[in-house]
Structures are given as structure tokens and as C-alpha cells.
Amino acid sequence: MLLSIVVTVYNERENIRPLIDRINNALTGMDYEIVYVDDGSTDGTLQELKSIDDPRLVVVEFRKNYGQSLALMAGIDVARGQFIATMDGDLQNDPLDIPDMLALVRDGDWDLVVGERVNRQDGMLLRKVPSRIANWIIRNLSGVHLRDYGCALKVFRSEIAKDMGIYGELHRFISVLASLEGARITQIPVRHHARQFGTSKYGLGRTFKVVSDLLLMLFFKKYLQRPMHLFAQAGLALFGIGLLINVYLLVLKVMGQDVWGRPILILGAILVLGGIQLITVGLIVEVLMRTYYESQDKRPYRIRHIKRGAAVRQAEAKV
């Protein structure tokens, strides 16, 4: 199968049939499947999906609401296509953009094509402004330079999509996760429509979740394979400052001054203990990292392609 379209939905009953119709109209003549993941909807979304007689439709039913990230992971796991497209189920993404995005991936130049909502049909104060701030922060801290990280419309090579671990609420950082897998990423302008039915599941309340997930992404990006460098550097800095403070107080004590009860004494002790703890945590995380890779026979690198000369291929054939 050429393409799998993965759509995750939670309480989107009125949007189900219109979106499936739009996908079928946009992909006429193409070999594809539509994988819907119902994330524990309570408004009849699942019943609506089951009532649709479409040979291309695959319905994945969750027992309860697990969140968009795990729903997306399940849809990608079930997908059978050589390429995988993801989109929201609220009719704001337009399936007409999928063929152009798929063409870029099929040509072999890119592993992931991300949509950019250039004419975004959302509220300015609650959606656009926070999104622009988040995009600027993610762009500068992650090193993955995109203009719009929040667009759900994406097209992947299947092997890239299936290798990503979209745990927790990391669906917001799919581009960063793909970058960790060595994916070549580009972004193109796509259509964006105003929501017609249902209510948005996003709001300002997710800000702190985004910040905490961003810290996790920074750790994955820079220190996953060398965690000791992160913890040891901070630990040694704290330990060194604390040690200098304690040596200074020791000199004062030897000179006959009373150092007991001074705030700087408490600070020096806290810094020394904190430094020791960070170094210890670094050692533990280093062991866990090695266990993660070696116990599963994983490698901390990804090979895109190996080209062998004719002589090498003949020698391998003889073996």
C-alpha cells in the first residue's frame, strides 16, 4: 500500500463523514487507507465511524482516553503504507495538500514534509500569539528550524514514523523526534480552515506541559547519549563553588573568627551536597542509557543507506 492517512479523534462526531469524503475526493486514483483512532470519545464518534461502509477505512478503538500522543502512536503502528500522513480530525487541515507533500517525500529528497499554516484560521489572542511564541522558543532551543511546529498535517516515510517514540504528550515535537532519527525535514505552505463543528481541545492550559516537554526534547537532542556531560558539569560547578566557600570559612576559623551560624556556611554545605547528588545522578543515568541500548541491541546511530561496490557484492554472494 502506498499511503496511510492517520487521523486521531476525540469527540469529533460531526466532522467524521465530511473529512472522509474530502480525503477520498483529494486522493482519487491513489492506493491508500484511512486509519482513524478513536481516543475514548463520549459523543458517539465511535458509533459514527463504525456506521461508515468504506473499504479503505480502518477504525482503531481505545478502551479509554489516553491522549493524542498515544493515539497517534497507535495509528502509526497499525498503518501499512509505505508513507504515512497525519492530520487532525476537525476539518481544519485540508487533504488536498497531501498529494504535493507526498510527492516531495516520494522523490527521495525528504523523509518528512511538514505543513505550515500561512493563513491560519484561529483566534489571535488564545491561539496564534502563544503559538508564535512557542515556535520561536522551540526553533531556537531545539535546532530544528521550522516556522510552524503545531501543524498536524505531515507526511513521513513509514520507517521514520514507526521509529519515533511518541510517548506522553510529545506529539507537539514530532519534527524534533524525527530529527533525532536523522530525518531530512522540510516545510511547505498548506491550507487551513476555521473549525465548523465541535470545540477545540487546545488552550492556554497546555503551556506548562509544552515547556516541560521542551526540556525533555532538549535532553534527548543534546545529552541522551552522554547524560554525564549534563549532570557532571552542573554538579562539578556547584561542588567547586561550595568547596571554595568552605575553604574560605575554614581559613576564617583558623584565624580565630566565629563562623557558626553564618548563612554562607549553610550555602556552602548545600552546594557541596547538591554537587555530589548531581554527579551521582549523572552516573546512574549513564548506566541506564547504556542498559537501554545494549539490552535491546539498539545502536545510538541511524544508517540511511549503504552502497557497496561490485567486487564487495560478489564476495558477499560467494559467502
CA distance 145 to 88: 23
Sheet bearing 57-61, strands edge to edge: 57-61, 32-38, 3-9, 83-88, 154-157, 112-117, 185-190
Query: Are both 107 and 233 inside the same structural domain?
Result: no
- Cβ partners under 8 Å of residue 87, min gap 6: 5, 6, 7, 93, 95, 98, 152, 153, 154
User: Residue 135 maps to which CATH number?
Assistant: 3.90.550.10
Provide the pLDDT for residue 123.
Answer: 62
The boundaries of the domain holding residue 255 are 227-295
310 part of a folded domain:
no
Provide the pLDDT for residue 127.
Answer: 64
Is the pLDDT assigned to residue 258 strictly greater than 80?
A: yes
Provide the pLDDT for residue 227.
Answer: 86
pLDDT in tens, 104-143: 999 878 999 999 988 876 666 656 777 777 778 778 777 7
CA distance 104 to 113: 7
- Counted domains in the chain: 2
Residue 26, classed as helix, strand or coil, is helix
314 part of a folded domain:
no
pTM: 0.74
pLDDT in tens, 168-181: 677 878 888 888 88
